[in-house]
């Protein structure tokens, strides 16, 4: 790949010291630059990549993309000046991998809650229909059955990783790419050049206001996925543009107004084009009748809760829009046995049920607790916490109130506290619980250590109870004081049951 091929993919670039040099890699971290790499200087939350251009050149960068060139930088290489370096990074990565999205049908899923589950269900439907499907989520990428982890505490993968994954899909004969697409990924243009053909909205509730500043800005960031159906620079004129929208979300009219060739809505109400009726819940599954414009079919979903029914309806609507038969859709939905710590039941020899869930937003916590109330024959016990630092501390009191209203017993504990004091994080949560009528030491407790908190929640459980352990889910580390510490939620839960139940300690 030569520099001029990459420049041709960029929008309104000015080149200083032009030369068509070979490019061996696209890099945005100067510490990772290798000889022949194209270094893209982007401004991040903590630092500005322009500061590290001299270091990148010293490490062998063959060229630099930047917003503004500094006359003091070495004059030995080309500098490509652009208005938006983040968008340029995405397009440079796409060009470097020969625009892989042109050879794929790309489905993007955005929303506050349910993105990973909906993306996984969409993948399963297309696999059931005989397609070869690749999946990129916030957890990692699955290509032809092989999983690649993308690290800890990330949202949508970086632009370079996304394009590398898409290239691998094309090279391995994948036909459909499903991409879980976050507001950060959209706002930072990491997904520019993905050539989306279908856009899916799960819901929009309070989240990431520390980053976006307001609900409206957050909503508008999500809407960029739907605008990308027409505006993304990777054009595929022969593939129709499809939007799939949750009719029950307050933002529905806004998303419905965004141009697409086909629009289809779904929801829990019969006013929706695709909806559910006759729901039945158990500890391990949810059954419902899927009703659509092309007929109806009974679905046995190995995921529990109304929120997972909504996720299944979103995935089904995608399948219907792509012409897949209802029987195939039902088979695909039923083939998903679990989704990365989303209401995942822990296999235990105990007379109570324990579920691990990622829930870290008010809506998600409410969903899992309402689900627990429907399936429990005893009490509902919640063990949860929230991250420290600047990540929308305003939701802490809200989530404490939700837990106080919907759970019988609440254990508040740590998640990722970064540099912040754990007690400072937990205080507004317990204040919310108290506002909901709970009493500390009677039906709500605080445990600074997460393993201890999980142990307390398990020790409280009696026959027929449902215990929810929320807030970490699939994540494999705890972020404490600038360091990542290995963590396995399922292992900790299992150990707690062994300690507090199978060892003979009677339930409280």
Instruction: Look up residue 170 and give its two tokens.
Output: 């094309």
Residue 381 bridge partners (DSSP): 409, 467
Q: What is the pLDDT of residue 506?
A: 40
Q: Which CATH number fits domain 3-91: 3.40.1390.10, 3.40.50.300, 2.40.50.1020, 1.10.3720.10?
A: 3.40.1390.10
365 secondary structure, DSSP code:
H
Q: Rg of the chain over CA atoms, in angstroms?
A: 24
Q: What is the pLDDT of residue 448?
A: 86
Cα separation, 349 vs 376, in Å, equals 17
Q: Which CATH class is domain 344-502?
A: alpha beta
What are the extents of the domains in the chain? 3-91, 100-334, 344-502
DSSP line for 278-295: EEEE-SS-EEEEEEETTE
The residues, ordered by sequence, that sit 6+ positions from 217 with a Cβ below 8 Å of its Cβ are none
Cα separation, 170 vs 166, in Å, equals 6
Q: What is the pLDDT of residue 396?
A: 85
From its phi and psi, is residue 189 left (phi > 0), alpha (psi between -120 and 50) or beta? left
pTM for the full predicted model = 0.84
The residues, ordered by sequence, that sit 6+ positions from 322 with a Cβ below 8 Å of its Cβ are 126, 198, 242
HSE, side-chain direction, 13 A CA sphere, residue 285: 11
The CATH number of the structural domain formed by 100-334 is: 3.40.1190.10
Residue 26 bridge partners (DSSP): 38
CB atoms within 10 A of CB 73: 18
Cα separation, 286 vs 330, in Å, equals 13
Cα separation, 85 vs 213, in Å, equals 22
Under-50 pLDDT residues of the chain: 153, 503-508
The residues, ordered by sequence, that sit 6+ positions from 90 with a Cβ below 8 Å of its Cβ are 159, 162, 163, 189, 190, 191, 192, 193
The residues, ordered by sequence, that sit 6+ positions from 31 with a Cβ below 8 Å of its Cβ are 55
Q: What is the pLDDT of residue 293?
A: 97
**Segment (H or E) for 326:** helix 326-334
Examine domains 3-91 and 100-334 and report if their fold is the same. Answer: no
Q: What is the pLDDT of residue 392?
A: 58
């Amino acid at each position: 790949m030569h520099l001029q091929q990459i420049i041709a993919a960029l929008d309104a670039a000015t080149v200083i010291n032009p030369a068509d040099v070979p490019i061996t890699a696209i890099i945005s971290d100067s510490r990772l630059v290798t000889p022949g790499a194209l270094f893209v200087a982007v401004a991040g939350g903590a630092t500005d990549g322009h500061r590290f251009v001299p270091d990148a050149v010293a490490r062998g960068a063959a060229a630099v993309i930047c917003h503004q060139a500094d006359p003091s930088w070495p004059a030995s290489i080309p500098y490509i000046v652009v208005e938006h370096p983040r968008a340029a990074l995405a397009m440079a990565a796409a060009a470097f991998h020969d625009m892989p999205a042109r050879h794929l049908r790309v489905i993007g899923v955005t929303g506050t809650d349910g993105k990973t589950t909906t993306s996984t269900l969409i993948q399963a439907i297309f696999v059931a229909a005989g397609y070869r499907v690749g999946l990129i989520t916030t957890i990692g990428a699955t290509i032809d059955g092989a999983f690649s982890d993308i690290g800890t505490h990330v949202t949508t993968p970086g632009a370079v990783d996304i394009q590398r994954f898409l290239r691998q899909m094309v090279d391995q004969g994948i036909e459909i790419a499903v991409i879980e697409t976050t507001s950060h990924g959209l706002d930072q243009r990491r997904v520019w050049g993905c050539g989306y053909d279908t856009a899916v909205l799960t819901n929009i509730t309070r989240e990431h206001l520390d980053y976006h500043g307001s609900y409206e800005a957050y909503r508008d960031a999500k809407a960029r996925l739907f605008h990308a159906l027409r505006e993304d620079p990777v054009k595929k004129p022969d593939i129709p543009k499809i939007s799939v929208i949750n009719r029950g979300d307050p933002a529905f009219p806004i998303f419905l107004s965004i141009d697409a060739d086909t629009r289809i809505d779904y929801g829990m109400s019969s006013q929706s084009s695709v909806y559910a009726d006759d729901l039945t819940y158990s500890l391990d599954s949810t059954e419902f009748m899927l009703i659509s414009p092309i007929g109806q079919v009974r679905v046995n979903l190995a995921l529990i809760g109304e929120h997972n029914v909504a996720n299944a309806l979103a995935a089904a609507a995608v399948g219907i829009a792509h012409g897949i038969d209802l029987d195939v859709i039902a088979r695909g939905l039923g083939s998903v046995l679990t989704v990365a710590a989303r209401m995942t039941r822990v296999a235990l020899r105990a007379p109570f049920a324990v579920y691990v869930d990622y829930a870290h937003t008010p809506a998600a916590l409410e969903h899992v607790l309402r689900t627990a109330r429907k399936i429990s024959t005893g009490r509902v016990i919640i063990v949860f916490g929230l991250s420290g630092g600047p990540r929308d501390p305003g939701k802490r009191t809200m989530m404490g109130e939700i837990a106080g209203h919907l759970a019988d017993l609440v254990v508040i504990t740590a998640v990722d506290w970064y540099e912040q004091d754990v007690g400072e994080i937990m205080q507004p949560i317990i204040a919310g619980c108290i506002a909901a009528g709970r009493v500390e030491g009677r039906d709500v407790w605080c445990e600074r250590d997460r393993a201890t908190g999980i142990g307390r929640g398990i020790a409280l459980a009696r026959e027929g109870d449902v215990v929810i352990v929320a807030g970490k889910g699939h994540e494999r580390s705890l972020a404490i004081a600038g360091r990542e510490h290995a963590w396995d939620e399922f292992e900790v839960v299992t150990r707690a049951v062994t300690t507090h139940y199978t060892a003979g300690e009677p339930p409280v």
